Amino acid sequence: MKIYIDGKFCSERDAKVSVFDHGLLYGDGVFEGIRAYNGRVFKLREHIDRLFYSAKAILLNIPLSHAALMKAVVDTCRKNKLRDCYIRLVVTRGPGTLGLNPNRCKKPCVIIIADKIQVYPQEYYTKGMEIVTVPTTRNLHSALNPAIKSLNYLNNILAKIEANNAGCEEAVMLNSEGFVAECTADNLFIVKAQQLFTPPLSAGALYGITRGTVMELAQSAGYKVSEPNLTRYDLFNADECFLTGTGAEMCPVVKIDGRVIGSGKPGPITQELVKNYHALTNVSGEPI
């Protein structure tokens, strides 16, 4: 495996960053998870856009242009001879002092890793998965805005631990007002009366690239899509439920907090959108 670090490719064994990097010491940095399908990097421009938005929000100057980053991502896939893979693009604040002050970091560090990924067991995609609501709430907008895809994922990790302790792979996270925000690494959708609903960004949901793609696919298929505040009651009484994310893609949910969702099997609208999503990913994207 060849890993891109600051303009150079090195082996996995030789891929190293400084122990003084503030990305390691304080989670000071941003990242993107990107997928390549059938020799094309899917929604690459949108992912790079979001990376720059996250960086701007934390006053992190990415040392490469938009076009240069896109090229670096494609080159990393080519270097590893991968046509179908998961790409992790990371920009840290860079090496600095042991203090918090980001001004002590002279140059940000850019890292790109391309490899295979399997977020959930394959059976979840065919039979559906069970999830639970956890006590850990989503970060407040006034504390660490969930729209920033930062390296500080401890909020999500704590929720993931609680899900694992309950025997589940994934968790529903509520915001401080009790409304559904998202899952630990995925956006959440429900289907009710032939309509799709997903939490608004204001509730603490990430501006998911896959989320937006699925919304477009649903609208093109003739389904109404809206973004109201949702409660656990709404989830329990949904006809269908599914999760979306770059790594997870689209995964149906058949039980939440012990309540069976709909028929207890992946629903017809979910299955239709999964089919449409895969069809799109196979023909769309930046060529490798």
Residues carrying an active site annotation: 149
For residues 10 and 49, what is the distance between their CA atoms, to the nearest angstrom?
26
**Please, what sign has the CA dihedral across residues 15, 69, 182, 280?**
negative
Q: Three-state SS for 231?
A: coil
Q: Are 240 and 251 in contact (CB under 8 A)?
A: no
Q: Three-state SS for 58?
A: coil
- Residue 173 has what DSSP assignment? E
For residues 48 and 59, what is the distance between their CA atoms, to the nearest angstrom?
16
For residues 268 and 247, what is the distance between their CA atoms, to the nearest angstrom?
22
Q: Which residue has the tokens 């893979």?
A: 85
The strand pairing partners of 31, in sequence order, are: 90
For residues 27 and 24, what is the distance between their CA atoms, to the nearest angstrom?
6
The Cα-based distances of 37 to 212, 239, 258 in angstroms read 18, 30, 35
